[in-house]
Amino acid sequence: MSATQIEARLYYVRGRVQGVGYRNFVQQAASRLQLTGWTRNVDDGRVAVFAQGSAEKLTELEGLLWKGPRWSEVRGVDSSTAAPENLRSFVVRH
């Protein structure tokens, strides 16, 4: 029996994504998808999202990142491959 390959990605989300509940939205979505990682605001107005799990779940999360919560206005999502970290949950970092 083979374990699912764990992949990690780092996303930077541009647009109106700070002060609109975006990080909590990401945390809830990632937790529902059983992904581990973190999200935090970046000084330049973007939101950073580090997530790890199966490729399928990461693709699903990326689609949700484009959507965002009700008051957000996502203008772009940049994605890059990252090295997996030893994390047990998905958290909002301050």
CATH number at residue 29: 3.30.70.100
* 2 against 37, higher pLDDT: 37
pTM above threshold 0.85: yes
Checking if the pLDDT of 90 tops 80, the result is: yes
Position 93 in a domain: no
| pLDDT one-digit tens code per residue, 9-54 | 999 999 999 999 999 999 999 999 999 999 999 999 999 999 999 9
Strand extents, DSSP E, 1-94: 7-16, 36-41, 47-53, 73-82, 90-92
The residue from 41, 70, 86, 88 that is catalytic is 41
Number of domains in the chain: 1
What pLDDT band is residue 1 in, cutting at 50, 70 and 90? Answer: very low
Active site residue 24: no
The token pair at 63 is: 């689609």
Position 85 in a domain: no
Q: 39-62 burial string, b = 16+ CB within 10 Å, else e?
A: bebeeeebbbbbbbbeeebbebbb
Domain range for 58: 7-74
Compute the Cα dihedral for 45, 65, 51, 59 and give only its sign. Answer: negative
Position 30 in a domain: yes
Active site residue 86: no
Position 89 in a domain: no
The residue from 16, 23, 46, 88 that is catalytic is 23
What pLDDT band is residue 2 in, cutting at 50, 70 and 90? Answer: very low
What is the rounded CA–CA span in Å between residue 8 and residue 82?
5
